[in-house]
Copies of this chain bind each other. A is one copy, B any other.
């Protein structure tokens, strides 16, 4: 692995300032306005993005500073292996959020988005276009999630206050 390789290209401006109450997944987000602010050095790379209706935000979940290999996920009541969950506390807390893209302003670096599961200030590492041909697989079997609860917002079980 290369040394210290991460570069922050921007951050989230969202209504969510604490984990409790934040949507578990971007797809479950209330249609609240949120923004991604991309820093000047990277704005040229936003060209052509405005013609996509959905994007992947690759984020660094910087509030997640430790992890357990077994967790009780939001949508279940028993312990599951961490890699069978989307819990935010992971060895590498990289978030992948598919969110609706409303507008792109290349000059200011501001993307308006809807449906977000990320806390205000979360560092953004990358943006990729959502491409149904690559990313949409509707007929998959989703293990314990297929019978999970209907919980759609987080409580504080993955805050760093817990052990």
Q: Which residues of A contact B (CB under 8 A)?
A: 1-9, 25-28, 42, 44-54, 56, 58, 60, 62, 65, 69-70, 80-86, 90-92, 94, 96, 98, 123, 125-145
CB within 8 A of A84: which of B3, B27, B48, B86?
B48
Asked if residues A136 and B136 are in contact (CB atoms below 8 Å), the reply is yes
Asked if residues B129 and A86 are in contact (CB atoms below 8 Å), the reply is yes
Q: What's the least CB distance linking A30 to chain B, in Å?
A: 16
Q: Within 8 Å CB of A140, what residues of B? A: 52-54, 130-132, 136
Asked if residues A96 and B58 are in contact (CB atoms below 8 Å), the reply is yes
Asked if residues B132 and A137 are in contact (CB atoms below 8 Å), the reply is yes
Asked if residues A81 and B143 are in contact (CB atoms below 8 Å), the reply is no
